[in-house]
Structure 1
Amino acid sequence: MLDVDDVVSVLVSFLHSLETDIQEGSAKVVLVIAGFDSYKVVSVGAGVIAPLIRVLECGSELGKQSAARCLMKLTQNSENAWSVSAHGGVTALLKICSGVDCKVELVGPACGVLRNLVGVEEIKRFMVEEGSILMFIRLARSKDEALQMMSIEFLESIAFGDELIREMVIREGGIRALVRVVDPKWSHSSKTRELVYFICNGEVSIQELALKVAFRLCGTSEEAKKAMGDAGFMPELVKLLNAKSFEVREMAGEALSGMVLVSRNRKRFVQDDRNIGMLL
């Protein structure tokens, strides 16, 4: 009777198959196995990463989707990052994300794998050198809502704690792309709430970037200000009036002054005496 190691070894060998059906079927089974922590080590030990990357490069569309989702599970918390990199996985994933004809079902998990890998400094630098910043800013301008958010999450991860990359994101048009994503004319209010999340919980550099987006968004339209008020921006902006950075305090104050020009925002604002006290 075959044990787990033997079964995984057989599946890995099937990933090398030239028969599309066999390759797709084994990729789907490996995807299920990769969801169990105890089997991840077994899968990686059996050499699953190299054939998964080969499927990404040469497989069918369905095979590529399963392979990318598999790699996303195998690289959580930057696990197995070097193995993916050593087999050319980073280049293959970047190629997928740069393709004009690729579907969200493939680009989405490919974005997820790359986001998992940015925790390794050398791999992050390689991605930057290969033009990933501009690539993901372009993806953030996509009409597909899922791709927009995955791209923003990647940009947040790659800029985390890195002032140079943060400035690169801004220079390459990242703020304009983010404004377009959260502007109610282009997307749903859930995106505005995502921006609130970054202001509340983001690392300092990401928080400042999100605040700049909010500041610019305030100047786009009355509808934008209403959406920001509905999403709960004002209490968070009030908190930032106590920030150490003068620039942060100034942007928060100007954003608030723009938002309270809208009647329903003004009513919300004055309902909390602490808001008035903070301004005074």
Structure 2
Amino acid sequence: MREGWSTAGITALGELLSPSRLTGTAARMSVQLFLVVCLWHALYSDTETSGGLDEGQAVAYGVLAVLALRLRDTDRWIGRDMVIQQIEFGTIVYWFLRPLAPWRYYLRRAVGDQLYGFAWAAAGYVVCLLAGVMDPPASAGAAGAFAVTFLLGQSVLYYLVLLTDQMCFWAVRNDSAVEILQFAQNLLSGGYAALWYFPGWFQTMSALLPFQATLSVPLSFYVGRLPVDDLPRHLAVQLFWVVSLAALTRLVWRRAEHRVVSQGG
């Protein structure tokens, strides 16, 4: 069990052993945060409220969106441990020969990546709070709602990314699918801009998809745009997506066991 979970630290160790990559990550995140803060201050220079958000809420939402996206921005390509690489090299067969089931290995690697990304996000959050760049949660209840929905939102995102990676077992390459998922996730989850700024039909459409549950809901609770009384309803929606996607990806894993296609093996 301990050996299995040691795989969770592969990405973090690779980053920590490369100071230049750490410096690059810190610089990139700092620039992104600076530009986002400047952008929202500029957009609110001639108005007090837009989309139900005031300037402080908009800035906090934008900063949190940048930090949240950091959780999935780990670079596993250099370590050659992405599904698409494993299939191209032919080494994907070892995932099915190890004592550790492939879905368990994938899960533990993903947990490690997210924890590493969370460390960066938490550090950035503390710095932004201390610097007065953004406001703290709207209330204690809002902070609790944010924490719970954010955790479930990351679970939904995990299964969406997993489902995209699983496409490699049938399509060999999933580059286009990854690009589509990233764009859809950033747009429909409120990563580019809060969904509250979009037309009603767009908000209705996004509510029918799982992306909104990954980011928009938690951040809306944090800034006070969603009342804490709405928490049970949003938790039910998030749990629905987690259970549904978990069942679907587990089924796909079982199908993948019977057809391992590799270009290199």
TM-score between both structures, scaled by the size of structure 2: 0.22
TM-score by length of 1: 0.21
Higher RCO structure (Cα 8 Å, ≥6 apart): 2
